[in-house]
């Protein structure tokens, strides 16, 4: 049994002189929901197109289900695809859209009927209600489901999804996120999901790769990349982070705030300390405590986001403490293991 559904080993791709992705090494496990997350232009779609075989790499190796597929054309890879524009066939009804790949594979009519109904049920569309509907008689979320059913109906070894929820409004997107995750858990197909939206990647993925300028910055579970970002880019791209410039002095740091205790130092002299706003506590019960003045209070429903000026450094802090006002002098702090030291 192969362990990895998709393996990219040292894959690079140039468009003209521009290196869109460089030396990509990613191994995606079978049955995993794997996301590729990064800002616009970081090379996410290029990776998806390389996996699909729509483009070929300049160097490196691509394996699908253990087979070297580096230069194999798309139709021989047994891969399903769902893109943002969905590319559903508008002249066909829901049933025929989902049946499309099965007809190409010349399955018997009775098999096709059984499978289409099964897939429509998996994506939560009642076949009795939706089979005969035209695509333009469906909501955005329903169209999404048809596209997913169509892609899964051919039982691909990997399903590639490129920002499929991008065109939906926030509420529907959140709903589809949990639906997609449920569908993936049911069918256990390997999903490779491209997005620039960190919440999509964090909510749905078993693991994700964070991309920046054509390179993979970190691969890990949502908790790993959030709690233990390996680079400053990852720390900044995922969630919010306070960055405090500092210098290493023996076993502690010296900063504008004053002396800071840390649990680990990485060898560099000039560093930047990262602390998540929700790790900062109001009050003096922490290893590192500083006094500052509240400059801004934003009510976020259930909790407050405050900005505290400590010796000119603005520290963002999420708290459920009530009764904090602008201009108040308060103490804030954090424990050393809750901060991360990055090289400056
Ligand atoms: P987005 O989130 O905006 O879709 P992305 O992370 O998917 O971005 P890619 O589409 O992979 O990024 O593009 C990576 C880089 O390669 C970009 O700078 C893009 O301009 C460039 N690029 C992509 N396709 C081509 C092409 N056919 N010819 C030249 N440059 C290209």
Q: What is the CATH number of the domain that holds 86?
A: 3.40.50.300
114 & 135 share domain: yes
Q: From the alpha carbon of 214, which atom of ligand 1 is closest?
A: 14
Distance 38 CA to ligand 1 centre (A): 12
Give the pLDDT score at 208.
98
Nearest atom in ligand 1 to the alpha carbon of residue 21 is 14
**201 and 118 in a common domain:** yes
Out of 235, 250, 277, a domain closes at 235
Q: Which two tokens stand for residue 146?
A: 């048809």
Q: Report CA(8)–ligand 1 centroid distance (Å).
A: 18
Among the candidates 207, 235, 263, a domain finishes at: 235
Whether residue 93 contacts residue 143, with contact meaning beta carbons closer than 8 Å, is answered with no
Q: Cα of 180 to ligand 1 centre, how many Å?
A: 26
Task: Say whether both 231 and 245 belong to one domain.
Answer: no
**Cβ neighbours, 10 Å, residue 322:** 7
Ligand 1 centroid distance, CA of 41 (Å)? 5
What does each of the 344 residues of the chain score in pLDDT, given as a tens digit?
Answer: 889 999 999 999 999 999 999 999 999 999 999 999 999 999 999 999 999 999 999 999 999 999 999 999 998 999 998 887 768 888 899 999 999 989 988 889 999 999 999 999 888 889 899 989 999 888 888 888 899 999 999 999 999 999 888 777 888 888 889 889 998 999 899 999 999 999 999 999 999 999 999 999 999 999 999 999 999 999 999 999 999 999 998 889 999 999 999 988 877 789 999 999 999 999 988 999 999 999 999 988 888 999 999 999 999 999 988 788 999 999 999 999 999 999 88
> Distances from the Cα of 11 to the Cαs of 23, 68, 101, in angstroms?
5, 13, 30
Q: Based on the fold, state whether residues 49 and 171 are members of the same structural domain.
A: yes
The domain in which residue 325 lies consists of 241-343
Domain count, the chain: 2
How high is the pLDDT of residue 320? 87
83 and 224 assigned to the same domain:
yes
CB under 8 Å to 235, separation ≥6 — which residues? 229, 241, 243, 274, 340, 342
pLDDT at 321: 81
The b-or-e profile of 251-262 (16+ CB within 10 A means b, else e) is eebebebeebeb
Pocket test for ligand 1, best of 19, 36, 38, 45 (most atoms within 8 A of CB): 45
Say whether both 184 and 275 belong to one domain: no
- Tell me the best of 39, 41, 216 to mutate to test the pocket of ligand 1, counting ligand atoms within 8 Å of each CB and taking the most: 41
Q: Where is the domain boundary, 235, 264, 289?
A: 235
Rounded to two decimals, the pTM is: 0.89
> Do 108 and 146 belong together in one domain?
yes
**Domain shared by 169 and 106, yes or no:** yes
Answer yes or no: do 91 and 201 share one domain.
yes
In total, the chain counts a number of residues equal to 344
């Amino acid at each position: 049994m192969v362990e990895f559904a998709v393996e990219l080993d040292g894959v690079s791709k140039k468009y003209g002189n521009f290196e869109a992705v460089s030396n990509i090494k990613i191994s995606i496990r079978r049955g995993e929901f794997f996301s590729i997350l990064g800002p616009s232009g970081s090379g996410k779609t290029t990776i998806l197109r390389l996996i699909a075989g729509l483009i070929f790499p300049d160097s490196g190796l691509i394996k699908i289900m253990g087979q070297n597929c580096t230069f194999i054309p798309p139709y021989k890879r047994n891969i399903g695809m769902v893109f943002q524009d969905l590319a559903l066939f508008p002249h066909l009804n829901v049933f025929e859209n989902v049946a499309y790949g099965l007809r190409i594979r010349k399955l018997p009519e009775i098999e096709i009927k059984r499978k289409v109904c099964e897939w429509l049920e998996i994506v939560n569309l009642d076949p009795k209600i939706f089979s005969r509907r035209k695509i333009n008689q469906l909501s955005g979320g329903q169209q999404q489901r048809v596209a997913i059913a169509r892609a899964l109906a051919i039982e691909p070894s990997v399903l590639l999804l490129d920002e499929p929820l991008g065109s939906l409004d926030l509420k529907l997107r959140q709903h589809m996120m949990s639906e997609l995750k449920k569908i993936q858990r049911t069918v256990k197909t390997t999903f490779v999901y491209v997005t620039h939206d960190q919440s999509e990647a964090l909510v749905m993925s078993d693991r994700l790769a964070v991309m920046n300028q054509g390179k993979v910055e970190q691969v890990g579970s949502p908790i790993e990349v959030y709690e233990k970002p390996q680079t400053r880019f990852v720390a900044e791209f995922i969630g919010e982070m306070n960055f405090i410039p500092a210098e290493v002095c023996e076993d502690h740091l010296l900063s504008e705030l004053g002396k800071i205790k840390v649990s680990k130092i990485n060898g560099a002299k000039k560093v930047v300390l990262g602390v998540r706003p929700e790790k900062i506590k109001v009050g003096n019960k922490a290893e590192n405590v500083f006094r500052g003045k509240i400059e801004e209070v934003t009510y976020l429903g259930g909790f407050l986001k405050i900005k505290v000026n400590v010796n000119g450094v603005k520290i963002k802090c999420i708290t459920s403490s009530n009764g904090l006002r602008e201009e108040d002098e308060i103490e804030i702090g954090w424990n050393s293991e809750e901060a991360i030291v990055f090289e400056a």
